[in-house]
Structure 1
Amino acid sequence: MLAQFGDSITDSRAFWFSLRYKRNNAPPEMVKAFDLVSSHMIEDCWDRKGPENGNQGGKTIRWADQNLSKWLMRLNPEVAIVMFGTNDLNSVPGTEYEKKMRLVVQRCLDNGTIVILTTIPPRHGFTEEAAEFSKIIRSIARDLEVPLIDYHAEILQRRPEDWDGALDKFKDYQGYNVPTLIARDGVHPSAPEQYRGDYSAESLTRNGFELRNYLTLLKYGEVIDQVLTAQK
């Protein structure tokens, strides 16, 4: 059982759900990871969207802290992908964010759930704050020895100067159809139509949701291969 705990960047069916149906130009490591995940994971875990499953738009780590016990009781996940922080940047102090995130991760571990932590994407107008919150996530992953997907670093590595779809150079594009990694709102990952379901190297510099899908699939496959299979 795989759980997805997060905000709108997780609740969206552009994340994870879409992987099940379309994987054009997938590199060999992704094909291998998909086969591994498909043979291991319960099929309906490709979906599992909504607050009852631990993901909803607009939510922060406070919501996760308040509701985690019932999610763990209802789902009892083998693995949980956890990413909160984008909405926290302008509403939750860093010290509170770190404290509550550590508690959420530890409570998952106490339940026997493997946590895959994910750093948050950079955000327009909150560049320094997003970097600091991502630094906190890296620290928690290191301290509690849990797998990490460094989404923040991967975005900056691929588009160091123009990751932000809110830049003037992208003014002719609307919504998610911006050919960089963050949408026109400067907040959410992009999903330009021409790159949907495309996992070519080019697409992974232009579609923020597909980049997250790629990174998550590889990390979950790694956990299955190196941890879960080894336990059997």
Structure 2
Amino acid sequence: MFKKAFYAAGCAALLLIAALAWTMSAGSTPAAAQGDATEEPTLAPVVDPVLGEFDPASVESIDLAEIPILPEISAQARLVYEQGIAAGMNPAVFSKVGDCMTDTPFFLIDIGDGNYDLGEYEDLQPVIDQYTSSDINAFNRKSQAAAGGFNTASIVDSMWANPEFCDSGETPLSCEFRIAQPSVALIMFGTNDVQYLDASQFDFFLRSIVAETIRNGTLPVLSTFPTRPEFPEQTELFNKIVVKVAQDYDMPLINLSRALADLPDEGVDPVDTTHMTTPEDEQVAHFTDEALQSGFSTRNLLTLEALDAVMQAVSADEG
């Protein structure tokens, strides 16, 4: 139970709420603009968000139960990845970007440590090989862009960057990108945001994160987040915002909330709802039917499958 005690201590830290001290100017061309199907695809300009421009009506038609659990990798997503690799991003590195649902020994760490059993999912072994093939083990390395208490505001605020690793003026996100040069960023927020930010703020800061990630040459893979039972309406609204942001920028999305919907307690610890559930033996990377009734095991498997989708799409382009 050591891991569970460690995780609880990390998530019990004071939630960090960044001041709304800056805004970004809006671009003029939609990020998801598509060219003629017969033309060579080009990367669409990235649209910057403007604080206060969120329209609740823009997400009303989104049905979370109808959004696919695993992403299809669009032409725009492939271009972000491929151009990032050409610019020097590391194909063997992804970055974790998130709060205590991400900065936890239960998310991917066991895979990096070799404590996993793919079972019937053995076709995912090349994904593990890909991200453990260099001196940087992406699965178990500490990310500067993930910490207990983070929300979408704090990740782009230099106040919360760790001065031991980050340069003056860097945000946790920009610091992580400089250090790791990741080809992919796994982004999940919402657990803390539903309690402290309103919908307009969440939309603005999530879009800011995605825009910066794309400009860095890193492919953002977004994820909906587990329900907060205390904030059901905010959870639904914020998850719809996650979906809309992924759609607007034409970037991959893992619909984790849908995958968890039929699990016991929707995959959320009923005692501490900032935690997901784990198997009784805490073997969150042993993908048995029993283990996959827990939240963290499900998220670990879906993350591997999403990374595999990226690899397959890029390999198809190369072929």
2:127–2:304 CA contact under 8 A, matched in 1: no
Work out which of the two has the higher radius of gyration on C-alpha atoms and give 1 or 2: 2
1:83–1:118 CA contact under 8 A, matched in 2: yes
* Matched position secondary structure for 1:5: strand
Q: After alignment, is 64-73 or 91-100 more displaced? A: 64-73
Q: Could you tell me the TM-score, scaled by structure 2's length?
A: 0.61
Shift in Å, 1:23: 2.9
Distance 2:137 2:286 in 1: 22
Change (3 A) 1:209 1:91: same
Change (3 A) 1:4 1:223: same
Change (3 A) 1:229 1:54: farther
Q: 1:24 aligned to 117, 134, 138, which one?
A: 117
Shift in Å, 1:10: 0.7
Report the counterpart of residue 281 of structure 2 in structure 1: 194
Q: CA RMSD in A?
A: 2.0
Task: Find out whether 1:72 has 2:177 as its counterpart.
Answer: yes
Q: 2:314 aligned to 223, 227, 232, which one?
A: 227
Cα deviation, 1:95-114, whole Å, max 9, x if unaligned, reads 11101101110111011100
Task: Find out whether 1:182 has 2:268 as its counterpart.
Answer: yes
* Matched position secondary structure for 2:102: helix
Change (3 A) 1:202 1:192: closer
Matches within 5 A, 1:6-45: 6-20=98-112, 21-24=114-117, 26-27=119-120, 30-41=121-132, 42=134, 43-45=136-138
Q: Could you tell me the TM-score, scaled by structure 1's length?
A: 0.82
- 5+ residue gaps in structure 2? 1-92, 158-170
Distance 2:310 2:199 in 1: 29
Shift in Å, 1:231: 4.8
Cα deviation, 1:17-76, whole Å, max 9, x if unaligned, reads 11232333622xx321232331355452111225xx211001110111222222222222
Task: Find out whether 1:163 has 2:163 as its counterpart.
Answer: no
Q: How many residues align?
A: 208
1:8–1:55 CA contact under 8 A, matched in 2: yes
* Matched position secondary structure for 1:11: coil
Matches within 5 A, 1:135-154: 135-154=240-259
Change (3 A) 1:71 1:229: farther
Change (3 A) 1:198 1:73: closer
2:292–2:298 CA contact under 8 A, matched in 1: yes
Report the counterpart of residue 191 of structure 2 in structure 1: 86
Change (3 A) 1:192 1:200: closer
Cα deviation, 1:176-222, whole Å, max 9, x if unaligned, reads xxxxx2113122111133362431233212x2111110000000111
2:97–2:186 CA contact under 8 A, matched in 1: yes
Report the counterpart of residue 95 of structure 1 in structure 2: 200
Amino acid of the structure 2 residue aligned with 1:46? F
Distance 1:55 1:228 in 2: 29
Cα deviation, 1:116-152, whole Å, max 9, x if unaligned, reads 1011101121122111111111111111111111111
Q: 1:203 aligned to 291, 294, 309, which one?
A: 291
* Matched position secondary structure for 1:194: coil
Distance 2:229 2:241 in 1: 19
Shift in Å, 1:84: 1.2
